[in-house]
Structure formats: structure tokens, C-alpha cells
């Protein structure tokens, strides 16, 4: 049997494990993107319009999260939560860590976008008698969103890449499945290649999507 | 709940953490330097090279930027020996991180190169400089000044990425923290101190880069 047919045989044997791993990878990424973005928009709002005390606390939170490696966030979340008696499985703890990581990213993106809206717009809105709520929902946010969207799509690729770190705490996502398969058949080169290929396809797809959104949301000049 | 903090075990092994941090910094610095050389070459290839250089350079950047770094780390250490390329843990990690950072730095440098006005290159040609002289004495200094802010954030994320070396048992900060974690069970304390060390180092790096930026900024 040639090397290639041995590899293809092994892929066929491992097909369900690989698919399940891929499914877990996708769910981790989606969940942490959703939770992280909701949290992140809140962080961005606090950073831009918050009371100085709130702003200080949220700033400390983002700086702390951004200064810590994601792997450390994952490990800390997993070990600390179980120690202080909050019973979360590795999956939940991992998703929590990635959401926190995502929230700090999205928070900075939202803050940057809101601050990039010229101040004159707020003044103009005030001049025609809009409340702050109205100014925000119909003047500031639509303009900020245009800036946020492309970067936000790319954050999705960031989360897919970060999801591999959950293999370290034993979440059976694609990378851990790959490692398990390799420990059975020792085809490390081929199977790491396969995993890398799958991750590349997903992330490249997201990158193209980001470029597309960027073109669509660009201000016509 | 009802967990009482006790840092004694962590302070006992604090030297190990510091040695780990030192190794993390060394890994980051060496990879940054090699990565910068790769990134610079790739950026020049992307902005002015012939098609047969530009294509592979673009492929390298796209490929690496869309792969999770943990997969690259494991691939280099566990899969390359199958091709007869056997590296020890540290060189394997440094090689991975250099190639990884090279792709990100290439993008940073490319953006910086595009910001250098073309008139300056033409002015260089007009006073009779060779293309190499123009590159080294006009374009590169200006590019460096342009890219300092993004260089600083790439540097910091590179430093944080050294934590991935724990996955192949390189005794850097995260690895040492996990070791103390396993030995002492002072889980909360270990991770508070370890992430504190990361945050502090990142803050120092950011402050240093801001200082450099201020020093090199265009006088107005």
C-alpha cells in the first residue's frame, strides 16, 4: 500500500472523530464570538461614554485581559473556577475565557469606531433637539458599525484560531481529536497537515468575508 | 466558595516564575529579531518585487496568518522529525515563532513602506544614489518611524504568544506556572501572580515603545 492510501484509510477510519472535532471547534468559536461581542459592545460603550469611575474599572479590565496570553486566560479560567467551587466543565470554562478575550478586542474596536465619528455630528444632533439615546441609535452607531463590521468579522478568524487552545484543558475540538488520532496511527505529518488545512480553509473563508464586508461598507468616494 | 488566599507556596517558587519570565522574554526577543528580518524581506518583495517573488511571498503571509499558532508549534516539533528535521524544544519553538511573526511583521512593514512618499525615492535617484542606498538610507528609516505603533502591538502579542511554548514543555513562564499549580494546588494564587507578571511585562514593553516613539517622532 502506498503512503497516500494508508493516510486516506486512516482519515476514513477517523472521519467521525474529525467531524465531531470540527463541530466542537465551530461551536466554541460561535459561542465565544456571540457572548464576547455582546460583552464587548458594553465594554466599548463604557470606555467611550461611561462615568469616569466606570471607565477606570473597565479600562483596568481590558488592559488586564489584553496583557494576559489567551492560553493563561484559558488555564486560569479552568483551574480557578473549579477551585473556588464554580462547577464548570472544560468546555464552559474555555468558552468563558475566550469570550472574555473576545470582549476586550471588540471593546477596543467599538471604542475606536465611536471616537472616530466626528464630534460635530453629536453637536448637530443636539442642535436639532435629539436626546442622547436618539443621537446614539440613529447618528453615532450606524456610522460606527460601518467601521466595526470588517474588523469584527476578522475577530471571528481570531476566535477560531484561539479555540485550538482549549485542547490544552481537554476539550475535544479539532486539534485535540487530531492529536488523539496521531497517537493511534503515528501519522503526525499527515494529520497535522490535514488539521492545518481545515483551519486554513475556515479562516481564509472568514478573511475573504471580511474583505467583502469591507468593500460593501466602504464610504463611496 | 470560602477559598482563602495563601501565596506562600507561590513565593517559595517565585524564582522559577522569574526564570520562566526571563526565558519568555528571550524567546520573544530572538523570534522578533529573526521575524523582523523575514518580515522586512517579504515586505520589500510584496511592494516592489517581480511577480515570481511577490506570489510566494503573498502565499506565505496568507498561509501563516490563517493558521492557529498552536498547530504550527505542534507541527514543527512533532511532525517535522518525520521529514528528518529534528529540532530541540527551544530551537523548534523559536523557529516557529520567527516564521509566524515574520508573516505579521511583513504586513506591518508593507503598510509602512506604502506610506513613504514616492517623491523621496525619486529624489534619491536624482542625486545619484543606487537603489540599495535609497532603500537603506531613505526608505527604511522613514518606514520604521511609520510602523512604530503597530510594531509595538505586534511585539506585545509576540511576547504573549511565547506562552504557547508550554505546549511542548519549554520551561517558560506559563509552563512554570502550571508546574507550581500541580505541585502546590494553590491554583488561584499561581494564576494571579503569573498573569500579573505577564500584564506588568506587557505594560513595561508598551511604555518603552511609547518612549521610543516620542524620541523618534517628527519634530513639529
Q: Average of pLDDT values for B136-147?
A: 91
**Among candidates A161, A33, A209, which has minimal Cα distance to B67?**
A161
pLDDT tens sequence across B59-76: 999 999 999 999 999 999
**Cell output for B128:** 545619484
From chain B, the residues in CB contact with A64 under 8 A are 195, 199
Separation CA B85–CA B96 (nearest Å): 13
Residues from chain B that touch A79, judged by Cβ atoms under 8 A, are: 181, 187, 191
pLDDT at res. B219: 66
ipTM of the modeled complex? 0.91
Nearest CA in chain B to A165: B70
- The answer to whether B79 contacts A189, with C-beta atoms less than 8 Å apart, is yes
Residues in chain B closer than 8 A to A165 (CB atoms):
70
Residues in B closer than 8 angstroms to A196, CB to CB, are: 67, 71-72, 75
Q: What is the CA radius of gyration of chain A?
A: 21
Residue B173, CA distances (Å) to B13, B94, B113, B121, B201 in order: 12, 15, 35, 45, 12
**pTM of the model as a whole:** 0.91
Cell readout for A192 is: 497535522
Contacts of A68 in chain B (CB under 8 A): 160, 195, 198-199
| Closest chain B residue to A78, measured at CA | B187
Instruction: In whole angstroms, give the CA distance from residue A92 to residue A95.
Output: 5
Closest CA to A76 of B92, B81, B174: B174
Closest-CA residue in chain A for B190? Answer: A76
Given a cut of 70, the residues of chain A with pLDDT beneath it are 1, 221
What whole-number percentage of chain B has pLDDT above 70? 98
Q: Return the pLDDT at A84.
A: 82
Assess whether pLDDT exceeds 60 at residue B83. Answer: yes
Instruction: Rounding to the nearest 10 degrees, give the CA dihedral for residues A196, A198, A199, A205.
Output: 140
Residue A204 CA to residue B5 CA, distance in Å, equals 45
Interchain contact, B174 vs A69, CB within 8 Å: yes
Residues in chain A: 221
Tell me the chain A residues in contact with residue B20 when contact means C-beta distances shorter than 8 Å. Answer: none
| Residue A197 vs residues A11, A193, A194, A208, B75: alpha-carbon distances, Å | 14, 6, 5, 16, 12
Which among B160, B153, B66, B103 is positioned nearest to A160, based on CA atoms? B66
- What is the arithmetic mean of pLDDT over B47-60? 93
* pLDDT higher than 80, residue B214: yes
The DSSP code for B75 is: I
Nearest to A68 among B79, B188, B195 (CB): B195
Residue with cell 496568518: B65
The per-residue pLDDT for A66 is 95
Nearest to A67 among B67, B161, B203 (CB): B203
Asked whether the CA dihedral A68, B25, B176, A71 is positive or negative, the reply is positive
Q: Which residue of A has its CA nearest to B185?
A: A83
Interface test with A, best of B5, B24, B66, B103 (most A CBs within 10 A): B66
Q: Minimal Cα–Cα distance from B84 to chain A, Å?
A: 11
Give CA–CA dist B218/B146, Å, rounded.
10
Give residue B2's pLDDT. 64
Amino acid at each position: 500500500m502506498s503512503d497516500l492510501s494508508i493516510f486516506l484509510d486512516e482519515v476514513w477510519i477517523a472521519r467521525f472523530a474529525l467531524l465531531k472535532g470540527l463541530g466542537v471547534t465551530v461551536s466554541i468559536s460561535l459561542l465565544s464570538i456571540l457572548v464576547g461581542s455582546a460583552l464587548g459592545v458594553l465594554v466599548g460603550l463604557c470606555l467611550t461614554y461611561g462615568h469616569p469611575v466606570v471607565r477606570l474599572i473597565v479600562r483596568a479590565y481590558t488592559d488586564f485581559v489584553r496583557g494576559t496570553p489567551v492560553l493563561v486566560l484559558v488555564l486560569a479560567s479552568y483551574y480557578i473556577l473549579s477551585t473556588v467551587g464554580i462547577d464548570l466543565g472544560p468546555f464552559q470554562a474555555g468558552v468563558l475565557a475566550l469570550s472574555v478575550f473576545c470582549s476586550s478586542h471588540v471593546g477596543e474596536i467599538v471604542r475606536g469606531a465611536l471616537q472616530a465619528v466626528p464630534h460635530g455630528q453629536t453637536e448637530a444632533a443636539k442642535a436639532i433637539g435629539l436626546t442622547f439615546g436618539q443621537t446614539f441609535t440613529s447618528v453615532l452607531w450606524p456610522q460606527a458599525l460601518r467601521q466595526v463590521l470588517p474588523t469584527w468579522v476578522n475577530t471571528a478568524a481570531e476566535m477560531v484560531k484561539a479555540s485550538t487552545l482549549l485542547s490544552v484543558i481537554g476539550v475535544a475540538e479539532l486539534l485535540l481529536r487530531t492529536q488523539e488520532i496521531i497517537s493511534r496511527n503515528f501519522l503526525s505529518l499527515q494529520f497535522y497537515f490535514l488539521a492545518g488545512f481545515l483551519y486554513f480553509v475556515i479562516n481564509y473563508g472568514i478573511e475573504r468575508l471580511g474583505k467583502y464586508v469591507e468593500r460593501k461598507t466602504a464610504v463611496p468616494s | 466558595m470560602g477559598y482563602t488566599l495563601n501565596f506562600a507556596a507561590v513565593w517559595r517558587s517565585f524564582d522559577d516564575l522569574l526564570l520562566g519570565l526571563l526565558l519568555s522574554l528571550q524567546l520573544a526577543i530572538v523570534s522578533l529579531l529573526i521575524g523582523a528580518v523575514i518580515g522586512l524581506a517579504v515586505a520589500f518583495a510584496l511592494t516592489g518585487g517581480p511577480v515570481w517573488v511577490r506570489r510566494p511571498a503573498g502565499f506565505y503571509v496568507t498561509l501563516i496568518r490563517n493558521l492557529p499558532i498552536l498547530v504550527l508549534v505542534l507541527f514543527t516539533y512533532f511532525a517535522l522529525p518525520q521529514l528528518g528535521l529534528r529540532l530541540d524544544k527551544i530551537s523548534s519553538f523559536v523557529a516557529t515563532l520567527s516564521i509566524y511573526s515574520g508573516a505579521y511583521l511583513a504586513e506591518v512593514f508593507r503598510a509602512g513602506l506604502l506610506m513613504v512618499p514616492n517623491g523621496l525615492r525619486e529624489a534619491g535617484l536624482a542625486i545619484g544614489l543606487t537603489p540599495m542606498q535609497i532603500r537603506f538610507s531613505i526608505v527604511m528609516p522613514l518606514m520604521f518611524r511609520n510602523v512604530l505603533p503597530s510594531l509595538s502591538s505586534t511585539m506585545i502579542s509576540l511576547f504573549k504568544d511565547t506562552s504557547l511554548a508550554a505546549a511542548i514543555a519549554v520551561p517558560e513562564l506559563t509552563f512554570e506556572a502550571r508546574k507550581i499549580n500541580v505541585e502546590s494546588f494553590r491554583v488561584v494564587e499561581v494564576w494571579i501572580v503569573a498573569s500579573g507578571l505577564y500584564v506588568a511585562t506587557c505594560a513595561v514593553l508598551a511604555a518603552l515603545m511609547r518612549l521610543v516613539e516620542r524620541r523618534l517622532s517628527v519634530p513639529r
